């Protein structure tokens, strides 16, 4: 981690300057504190990767600094040093969480090696955390299935742009696989060995979105009990995918625009800028030009994001891919060692004629349901949901109008409640999927549920 931030703590000015100069020559970003209190204050306001502290100092000694560091910034690695070495002190320091223990006087090569090993260990731990986060947010299918002309055109574009650093804007209806395409861009780029961080902007409470994006320091607001790394910094060197970008509140769009332009961020409660090296990919299921006209999306942010636009086709425009997707999902959901199920020609024909408002995600749900509830290896039309077999033609039916008139607002509320319930039933109570079926953002869907007093204890977010 050559750009790592290191803090040297020692009450002796000569020792502070010696270590700072030596580590700066190694390429590190080095700061210094003349005592324990100053070090703890810096930890409250800055992200420190490695802290090197003397044990014996007046007032707040090295042990207190070590304990404070573990409380204020648990991810900070701590090295302790002293001229008064003893087994008891070393054991105590290690029990409190010190990475290593070095004694004065020390050899330059020895301390350089210890610092390098400590930072390499931190880097590996950080990467493991990011990998776990990626696995938790990974989409339910891992490969791009299909050979239709429109999908082939999209994949050709992915191959052309993968190694560039340009910002990409992916648009398409909910369930068309926008995150999957973003991952494909990342995996084919020269950033493939670095993090891919995905975030649904509509699923983050508005009060927390700035902290999620940029991080915060301890005490920046109520509940900020320690320093936190934001998503921009977590994606450093890799790719940051911002799904549902139009859900970012307009006041924060100004800060987002600056972060994209300058590749610098500032954590909440901190005055120091942090450089980040990221490839940004954004996505939305809305018409972006309309969002700009409605002042939902800033025009300058739109132009900054829309450098390379990719429009994903809905499933109804790539019907040739439906048989391939059906086979893929049957294989995915087949309980081992059972043979994957298959559909009769009539059932497959029904799927090919259906309009698929929920796109690939809806098709996946249908196949999972058929796999779980089906009683034979070959499934017919009866294994498909009623809504797919007999899709409603409500838009083609003239509404009835009572002679004495009607309460339009109450009628629309009743219809809205019915569709909210149907969407939750169709998705097994998974609210994010229900929102996708209704072409809503998660925030809009959650508002509607609260408005009508709907939602069940067993409903899930994802």
Distance CA 331, CA 333 (A): 6
- Contact residues for 187 (Cβ-Cβ < 8 A; gap 6+): 196
| Rounded alpha-carbon distances, angstroms, from residue 300 to 170, 257, 303 | 17, 8, 5
Show pLDDT as tens, one digit a residue, over the chain (462 residues).
557 899 999 988 988 899 999 999 988 999 999 888 999 988 888 889 999 998 888 888 888 999 988 888 888 999 988 776 565 676 788 888 888 888 777 788 888 999 999 999 888 888 777 676 555 444 433 468 888 999 999 999 999 999 899 999 999 998 999 999 999 999 888 898 899 999 999 888 888 889 999 998 888 887 777 888 889 999 999 999 999 999 999 889 999 999 999 889 888 888 888 889 999 999 999 889 989 998 999 999 999 999 999 999 999 999 999 999 999 999 988 887 777 889 999 999 899 988 898 999 999 999 999 999 888 889 999 999 988 887 654 444 456 677 778 788 888 888 888 888 888 877 778 888 888 888 888 888 888 898 888 765 445 544
- Which domains does the chain carry? 5-131 (3.40.50.2300), 149-313 (3.40.50.300), 315-391 (1.10.8.60), 400-462 (1.10.10.60)
Backbone φ and ψ of 355, nearest 5°: -80, -20
CA distance linking residue 129 with residue 121, whole number of Å: 13
Residue 12's CB is within 10 A of a number of other CB atoms, namely: 12
Q: Which two tokens stand for residue 112?
A: 């350089």
Length of the chain: 462
Contact (Cβ atoms closer than 8 angstroms) between residue 37 and residue 59: yes
Two tokens at 26? Answer: 């190694």
3-class DSSP assignment, residue 88? helix
CB 66 within 8 A of CB 48: no
Q: What are phi and psi of 271, to 5 degrees?
A: -100, -10
- The Cβ of residue 218 has, within 10 Å, a number of other Cβ atoms equal to 16
Assess contact for 283 and 241: CB atoms under 8 A: yes
**167: phi then psi, degrees, rounded to nearest 5:** -70, 140
Nearest to 58, CA basis, from 28, 79, 37: 37
């Amino acid at each position: 981690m050559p750009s790592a931030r290191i803090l040297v703590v020692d009450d002796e000015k000569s020792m502070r300057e010696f270590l700072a100069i030596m580590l700066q020559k190694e390429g590190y970003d080095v700061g210094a504190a003349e005592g324990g209190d100053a070090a703890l204050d810096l930890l409250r306001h800055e992200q420190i990767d490695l802290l090197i502290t003397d044990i014996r100092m007046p007032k707040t000694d090295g042990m207190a600094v070590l304990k404070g560091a573990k409380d204020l910034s648990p991810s900070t690695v701590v090295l302790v040093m002293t001229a008064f070495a003893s087994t008891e002190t070393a054991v105590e320091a290690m029990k409190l969480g010190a990475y290593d223990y070095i004694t004065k006087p020390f050899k330059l090569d020895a301390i350089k090696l210890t610092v390098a090993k400590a930072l390499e260990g931190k880097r590996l731990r950080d990467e493991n955390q990011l990998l776990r986060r990626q696995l938790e947010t990974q989409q339910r299918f891992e490969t791009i299935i299909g050979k239709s002309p429109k999908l082939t055109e999209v994949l050709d574009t992915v191959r052309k742009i993968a190694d560039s650093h340009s910002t990409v804007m992916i648009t398409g209806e909910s369930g068309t696989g926008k995150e999957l395409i973003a991952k494909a861009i990342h995996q084919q780029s020269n950033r493939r060995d670095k993090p891919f961080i995905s975030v649904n902007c509509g699923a983050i409470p508005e009060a927390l979105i700035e902290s999620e994006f940029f991080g915060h320091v301890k005490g920046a607001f109520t509940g900020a009990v320690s320093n936190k790394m934001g998503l921009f910094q977590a994606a450093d060197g890799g790719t940051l995918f911002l799904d549902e970008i139009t859900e970012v509140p307009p006041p924060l769009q100004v800060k987002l625009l600056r972060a994209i332009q300058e590749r610098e961020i500032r954590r909440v409660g901190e005055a120091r800028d942090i450089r980040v090296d990221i490839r940004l990919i954004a996505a939305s299921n809305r018409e972006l030009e309309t969002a700009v006209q409605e002042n939902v999306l800033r025009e300058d942010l739109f132009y900054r994001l829309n450098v390379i636009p990719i429009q994903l086709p809905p499933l109804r425009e790539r019907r040739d891919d439906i048989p391939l997707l059906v086979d893929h999902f049957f294989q995915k959901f087949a309980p081992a060692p059972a043979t994957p199920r298959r559909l009769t020609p009539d059932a497959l024909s029904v799927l090919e004629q259906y309009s698929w408002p929920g796109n690939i995600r809806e098709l996946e749900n249908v196949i999972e349901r058929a796999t779980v509830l089906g009683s034979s290896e070959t499934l017919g039309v009866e294994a498909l949901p009623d809504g797919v077999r007999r899709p409603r033609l409500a838009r083609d039916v003239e509404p009835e109008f009572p002679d004495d008139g009607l309460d339009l607002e109450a009628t629309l509320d009743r219809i809205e409640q019915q569709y909210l319930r149907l969407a939750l039933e169709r998705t097994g109570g998974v609210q994010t999927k229900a929102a996708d079926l209704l072409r809503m953002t998660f925030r809009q869907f959650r508002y509607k549920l609260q408005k009508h007093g709907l939602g069940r204890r067993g409903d899930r977010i994802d």
